Amino acid sequence: MHLLNNLRISTRLALGFGCVLLLLILTVVVAASRFDSIGRATDSLLNEAWVKAAAVKELDAATRANGTRTLELLLSQDAARAAELRARISANRERATSALATLQKLVKRPEGQRLLADIVALRAQYVESFQRVDAEVAAGTLAAATERCRNETIPLLERLQAQTKALAELQDGLAREAGESVHGSVASGFALILALGAGALVLGAACAWGLSRSCAC
pLDDT tens, 104-115?
A: 888 888 998 999
Is the overall model pTM greater than 0.75, yes or no? no
Averaged over 177-190, what is the pLDDT?
74
CATH architecture of 2-216: Up-down Bundle (1.20)
Q: What is the pLDDT of residue 134?
A: 87
- SS3 labels along the chain: CHHHHCCCHHHHHHHHHHHHHHHHHHHHHHHHHHHHHHHHHHHHHHHHHHHHHHHHHHHHHHHHHHHHHHHHHHHCCCHHHHHHHHHHHHHHHHHHHHHHHHHHHHCCCHHHHHHHHHHHHHHHHHHHHHHHHHHHHHCCCHHHHHHHHHHHHHHHHHHHHHHHHHHHHHHHHHHHHHHHHHHHHHHHHHHHHHHHHHHHHHHHHHHHHHHHHHHHC
